[in-house]
Structure 1
Amino acid sequence: MANTAVKKSMLRNVYDRCSAMPESIQPRLLSFIFGRVVKFFGTAGLRFELLTPERSIVFLANRKKVQNHIGGIHAVAMGLICESATGAIVGLNLPADATPVIKSMQIDYLKRASGAMRAEAWLTAEQIELMKSAPKGEVEVACTVTDEDGKEPIEVAMIWAWVPSKRPEK
């Protein structure tokens, strides 16, 4: 009988280990580890407030190193929190033999943001099942971004694809 168990991704293994820790330190621990692997996440000072297979929230404080010329969070940093929030839950749900790839990132800047920002992303049960069962595919990951005042200064559309990690031999 063949072993049909799906091998977990590195991110899923880290997530499972962190989930065994006290709840109060899980976001900080996940943020630290993620920042060591995804260097730009750590460099920008992003942190997870929540990470589950269905939902993630990434926080970015309005600090000097991520500011634009008028003291707000830079446009590219706003994109980074969206890419990080959506990419983390995609990576968390893919098996070890799949590679996640951002396919499309549409950002509409609607109004000036105030202070720190949060990106909240989520997946449906159907999207998660597709990622676990299809060797390649794509999903649009829902994501909402809010600033300190609770406003939504940007709207985003994030499409993630996944492909087999190893290309088939010809």
Structure 2
Amino acid sequence: MADNYLLKIYAKFLKLPLGRKLFSWYSARRAPYFSTVSPLITELRPNYCEVLIKKRKGLQNHIGTVHVIAICNGLEMAMGFMCEASIPKHLRWIPKGMTVSYPARADSDIRCVAEVPSDAWQPGELPIKVTAYNQQGTVVVEGTITVWVSEKPAKQAS
């Protein structure tokens, strides 16, 4: 996967001071909705992505925990970046749905993780495991984001 465009960009940013912050800022601006949670992409490699969401007033619900929709936003970002860093060049993906459960209170900063096995990239439905953890390592949200993987159309000769 050394020739993956996203992993190349990520590697370039990591060489800079504050590279992870700069990459996260750059990335969130390219998909503006993600910037609402001020994400920090802390790890990106084939079949795995981790995004940190800081607990702050603008993301809290009425009981002072991180709102689950903000966490879902972080999980979706982790899933999307994991897909882009992993999918073979001849395939493409699009999300189809998300199911989540909330087993514990999100009472701290949240670590959002998306991962798949390396042999998962085949045409058809691909269920991607997504998990959000609090600072103590307790699972606060877990679920699946299903994406549809298909062959890219053949390029037309002009």
| TM-score grouping bracket, smaller chain normalisation | 0.7 to 0.9
Deviates more, 1:148-157 or 1:48-57: 148-157
**When you count helix as a share of all residues, which structure comes out higher?**
1
State the 1:25 CA deviation: 3.9
- Structure 2 CA distance for partners of 1:125 and 1:99, relative to 1, 3 Å: closer
Matched pairs, number: 153
2:115 to 122, 136, 141: 122
Residues 91-114 of structure 1, C-alpha deviation per residue, up to 9 Å, x if partnerless? 222356754321121111122221
- Structure 2 CA distance for partners of 1:165 and 1:34, relative to 1, 3 Å: farther
Partner-residue secondary structure (3-state), 2:71: helix
Query: Is the CA contact 2:128–2:146 (under 8 Å) kept in the aligned structure 1?
Result: yes
Query: Is the CA contact 2:37–2:74 (under 8 Å) kept in the aligned structure 1?
Result: no
TM-score of the aligned structures, taking structure 1 as reference length: 0.76
Residue segments in structure 1 that go unaligned for 5+ positions in a row: 1-7, 131-135
The aligned counterpart of 2:86 is 93
Residues 45-96 of structure 1, C-alpha deviation per residue, up to 9 Å, x if partnerless? 0110111112111110111111111111111011111111112111222356
Query: Is the CA contact 1:103–1:160 (under 8 Å) kept in the aligned structure 2?
Result: yes
1:156 to 135, 143, 146: 143
Partner-residue secondary structure (3-state), 2:139: coil
**Letter of the 1:113 counterpart:** A
Deviates more, 1:93-102 or 1:54-63: 93-102
The aligned counterpart of 2:36 is 43
The aligned counterpart of 1:17 is 9
Are 2:60 and 1:60 equivalent residues in the alignment? no
The aligned counterpart of 1:28 is 21
The aligned counterpart of 2:76 is 83
The aligned counterpart of 1:69 is 62
TM-score of the aligned structures, taking structure 2 as reference length: 0.81
Partner-residue secondary structure (3-state), 1:153: strand
- Structure 2 CA distance for partners of 1:68 and 1:157, relative to 1, 3 Å: same
The aligned counterpart of 2:132 is 145
Return structure 1 stretches of 4+ with deviation > 6 angstroms: none
* Percent of paired sites with the same residue: 22
